[in-house]
Structure 1
Amino acid sequence: MRLSAQPQLSGIRKVFAPLDGVMIFVLMLIAALSIVTMYSASSDIPDRFPDHIRNLIIGFFVMLTFAYIPPQWLMKAAVPLYALGVVLLIGVAVVGQTRLGAKRWLNLGVVIQPSELLKIAVPLMLSYYFHLTGVISGKRAWTAFGLAALLLLVPFLLIAKQPDLGTALLVVFAGSYVIFFAGLSWKVIVGLLTSAVVSFPIMWQFLKPYQRTRIEVLLNPSSDPRGAGFHILQAETAIGSGGWLGKGFEQGTQTHLKFLPERSTDFLLAVLSEEFGLIGVLLLLVLYSVLIFRGLSIAHDASTRFERLLAGAITMIIFTYAFVNMGMVAGMLPVVGVPLPFMSYGGTALITLGVGCGMLMSVRHHRIR
């Protein structure tokens, strides 16, 4: 019996070897918190809760699938995936579907939103690009980083034109993290940030009216309390009324009296804060911190330049999702429609993040020991 059990245990270990125990544990806790919060937030939308469970399951299996894919295969897919994404974005610009004033979708028998693909394709492509260039310095760095910026600029402009500034900025952040980790000088970074601040009055003229309104309302939500400022004001009320321990599960007044808009999507954090208080939010922050620290640790221990850059960028994408959503709900950043990672309703975001976490596990499992 012992002899027959040994090969079985060995086979089980091989099956589960690519999975990172820390990440799986943390993600399961975040998913559990998401399920509880979503159940309360979507009580008046019967189909939303089961759809969210389905999306979590799909995202989990997508993550498992990518955990088994060797980084070498991911590297080979970088150029075709990036090229496909850009072609699809051009297709959106030419024959895309328009909804609510934005042309973001493409009907290929199944309606898709190609911009989501670029959140993974851009860091994948740039990681592969810098893997080929190797360590760069001197005059050669200007050419290398210039070409990288061009690879980043093309999808950014195509997505921003839809218009979808929120997704365009996420794509820029995803690519910028790769460029930063590849060794971009701090002098250049400070110069770019200074130029952005100085040129803001000029860029303001190119913003669409709704984008200007979002910034104006951020500075003074009370200027339009029944319109553009309504989301921020109701979210702040919900967060503030939760106190330390919250009002209790399904006891949130802003949530269940339907004052809080987009409560199951972009503003789910306000529901969590109202019903579980500051303690609930701190628990979520700890879980995100552990997840991000684990991702950076995987990036640090990666075997190749490609794997280090990719793992670092994916980890920082998760950080950006969390930071932007929390800042948005707290009234510190403009409302740009960024979901709370692994918490908010939305199949596309869950799949994108699942792919990213799967890639992190793949990098950890296939590193040279």
Structure 2
Amino acid sequence: MIRFDRRLLSHFDWALLIMLLLVCSMALFNLYSASYPAQPWGTPPYLKQAYFFLMGFAAILVILGFDYQELHFWNYVFYAIVVILLVVILFVGRSAGGAQRWISLGFFNLQPSELAKLMLVISLASYYSRREITDGYTIRQLIVPILLTAVPFLLIMLQPDLGTALMLGFIFMSMTIFVKLRFSVYAILGCSGLGAVFLAWQHLLRPYQKQRIRTFLDPEADPMGHGYQIMQSKIAVGSGGQFGKGYLEGTQGHLHFLPERHTDFAFAVWSEEWGFFGSMFFLGTYFLMLIWGLYSAMYARDRFGVLLSFGIVMLIFWQAVINLLMILGLLPVVGIPLPLVSYGGSSLLTTMLGLGILFNVRMRRFQNGHTSVD
């Protein structure tokens, strides 16, 4: 049952909301430019994204009506539903670009792998908050978190979706290191990680995924083929100069040199049109929002709230960093979107659901006492 105490409004995080609205507004303006001129058929991407933003804000309002402590119970249900969807998608999923990742809902193509990211944050936060270990976790105590991560990781790799699978690994490592490990565990996990990289290269990665890594190492070797995306993105970012070419005046995007300009390379469009100073303003606002989210984590009322907030911030942070480094040619193109900015309903709604939980934790930080982080 939804329970809402009007007194909670006095503790609502208006600063985070203002930063979120500012980022969303810039993202929509950018998406309009990235899809300009609009095609004479179908709904323009920026308009679809606006609908998803409205759905996301509606979802935040619903989430605020629940105490986030209820996720301790619902995380098991959420986990089971997402895993079932990841299994189903392997048989009846909609394919595009050689990958089978979507379930068609008529008006919307659901990508369960996006929900898996938030599901993993909630599941790990619930596990670690119930089993607090003061002297650091051992490998045996990490078996359950590893299994919780491994199941969706392997199912997503079968789609195949290397970028999203790697994100689950980043979420697991971030949250696990945050809760403290014994020193020997760091060495074991490090060696296991190196071994996993070798195993993946030899047996798991598809030929096109290996080619992306080779292209990252030497994009000029095939400038009109696999290296085209990275080179055009770097040209778009560099050509913006100090103040950019002006809104709707970007040549790389509007003359169709820049591929995937409304999805993976959306920020390259912004950089070309607004230049270095415009990019710094955007990134400053974006990462200030995440830093403010960490501030919320440090002052949550309990360990579960701390872990939830930290995990959600890491979920957004790692996607943003990987996407930006990918645009600059500093990482291979792995198809990770820039949260709130890249076009995509599943990614946007997952991010908004996560931010809704962040608002919830912040709003209830004074209920039932206060527990700070040592």
The answer to whether the superposition gives a TM-score over 0.5 is yes
1:134 to 129, 132, 135: 132
For 2:174, what is the secondary structure of its paired residue? helix
1:33 aligns with 2:26: yes
1:187 positional shift? 4.7
Conserved? CA contact 1:18–1:362, under 8 Å: no
CA RMSD of aligned residues (A): 2.3
1:43 aligns with 2:41: no
- The one-letter code sitting in structure 1 at the alignment partner of 2:324 is M
Structure 2: state its 5+ residue gaps. none
1:105 aligns with 2:98: no
2:236 to 238, 246, 251: 238
Percent of pairs identical after alignment? 39
Tell me which moved more, 318-327 or 66-75. 66-75
Match of 1:68 in 2: 65
For 2:139, what is the secondary structure of its paired residue? helix
1:35 positional shift? 2.1
Conserved? CA contact 2:118–2:354, under 8 Å: yes
1:173 aligns with 2:166: no
1:70 positional shift? 0.8
Tell me which moved more, 333-342 or 88-97. 88-97
1:208 to 206, 209, 227: 206
Match of 1:7 in 2: none
Query: How many equivalent pairs are there?
Result: 358
Tell me which moved more, 59-68 or 232-241. 59-68
1:74 positional shift? 1.8
1:144 to 141, 144, 156: 141
Distance 1:177 1:200, change over 3 A: closer
2:112 to 108, 111, 114: 114
1:155 to 149, 152, 155: 152
Question: Using the alignment, how far apart are the partners of 1:310 and 1:359 within structure 2?
Answer: 8
1:359 positional shift? 0.4
Question: Using the alignment, how far apart are the partners of 1:356 and 1:158 within structure 2?
Answer: 22
Conserved? CA contact 1:59–1:354, under 8 Å: yes
1:89 positional shift? 1.6
1:278 positional shift? 0.6
Match of 1:297 in 2: 295
Conserved? CA contact 1:242–1:273, under 8 Å: yes
Match of 2:340 in 1: 342
* Offset from partner CA, 1:46-92 (integer Å, 9 cap, x none): 41221122222222222232233211222221111111111222222
1:111 positional shift? 5.1
* Offset from partner CA, 1:221-250 (integer Å, 9 cap, x none): 111211211110100001111111111111
Match of 1:84 in 2: 81
Tell me which moved more, 40-49 or 230-239. 40-49
Question: Using the alignment, how far apart are the partners of 2:105 and 2:339 within structure 1?
Answer: 28
Question: Using the alignment, how far apart are the partners of 1:156 and 1:345 within structure 2?
Answer: 23
Structure 1: state its 5+ residue gaps. 1-10
Question: Using the alignment, how far apart are the partners of 1:49 and 1:115 within structure 2?
Answer: 23
Question: Using the alignment, how far apart are the partners of 1:189 and 1:317 within structure 2?
Answer: 21
- The one-letter code sitting in structure 2 at the alignment partner of 1:300 is M
- The one-letter code sitting in structure 2 at the alignment partner of 1:325 is N
Tell me which moved more, 84-93 or 24-33. 84-93
